[in-house]
Amino acid sequence: MPMKLRKTPATKLVRGTGARYAAPALDKGLDVIELLARETDGLTLNEIARLLDRTSSELFRMVNALCRRGYIGQHDDRYVLTLKLFELAHRHKPIKSLTAAAAPLMRDLAHRALQSCHLTVFHAGRVLVVAEIDSPERWAFGLKVGAQVGLTDTASGYVLLAFRDETGRRSMIGSHQKVEGELEVKERQLLKIIQDVAKKGYAQLRSRQIRGVTNIAFPVLGTSGYAIAVLNIPYIERIDKKITPSIAAVKEMLRETAARLSMLMGHVD
């Protein structure tokens, strides 16, 4: 069965703004990048052209320029987004400062809790993993740096939404982009979850992606008092004779670590 393609409204929005200082070539390149960011399996040149309502000849030079600069890669006849934008984002001082400050605290947390931990931020309508430390145990479960997870069905997403003002929260939900496999959550249910998380000060729930994992997530607060990141432990329970910290003990370790990182980021209680 042929793949169904839906034209993106992005190009039409750009073209219809009537901006005084238009940059058509830049708009064209950004349209390609933003489109590929939503396509995990990549697209052919013809598919890109069809979705952007352009011609293949019109996009050929642009796509090749993006390949040459390393922003997209080509596998067979399909183009995919590379991690270059992610790498550039990590050179940006706020993210670099955050991950640099978090790294030693996360290593200490992982060794005390005997669990993996990761740090996430909101990025382009999704939740992005920007740092991860594996458990020192033989068995470990963690998310890779660069992985994207859902905003509306994860503990990290709930915390990011809960610790924002109403305007920021609406903006985040409005820009939400689903990841592969993301579960549907009704708006009323989502708002109730967010309220509960804000009241408790953290999120704790069974993973909706992996059986046997309980996600615990605390906010990393900035100078504004809003969450700039989330520190998360995907807790896995040992059922053999090895004694490891309980989920309650791990939650307290996580709370303390997130509070320390918040202080380093300029948050004052």
Higher pLDDT, 111 or 33: 111
pLDDT at residue 14 is higher than 70: no
**Taking 50 as the threshold, does the pLDDT of residue 137 lie above it?**
yes
Question: Measured at the alpha carbon of residue 64, what is the angle toward residues 60 and 66, in degrees to the nearest 5?
Answer: 120
Q: How confident is the model at residue 24 (pLDDT cuts 50, 70, 90)?
A: confident
pLDDT at 22: 74
Is residue 182 predicted with pLDDT exceeding 90?
Answer: no
Per-residue pLDDT tens digits for 63-72: 989 888 888 8
Question: What pairing do the DSSP bridges indicate for beta strands 78-81 and 43-44?
Answer: antiparallel
Instruction: Give yes or no for a contact between 128 and 121, defined as CB atoms under 8 angstroms apart.
Output: yes
Say which amino acid occupies 105: L
* CA proximity to 209, closest of 152, 138, 140, 134: 152
Q: What is the pLDDT of residue 36?
A: 85
Given this model, what pLDDT does residue 28 score?
Answer: 87
Give the per-residue pLDDT at 134: 94
Between 47 and 89, whose confidence is greater? 47
- The better pLDDT of the pair 250, 11 is held by 250
Mean pLDDT of 11-21: 48
Is the model more confident about 144 or about 203?
203
Q: What tens digit of pLDDT does each residue of 162-172 get?
A: 999 888 888 88
Q: Which domains are seen in the chain, by residue range?
A: 10-82 (1.10.10.10), 87-264 (3.30.450.40)
Asked if the model's pLDDT at residue 19 lies above 70, the reply is no
Helix segments in the chain, DSSP class H: 10-15, 24-36, 45-51, 56-68, 84-91, 93-113, 155-162, 166-174, 187-200, 247-264
4 — pLDDT class (breaks 50, 70, 90): very low
Given a cut of 80, whether residue 85 has pLDDT beyond it is no
Kind plus residue range of the DSSP H or E element containing 129: strand 126-133
More confident residue, 187 or 197: 197
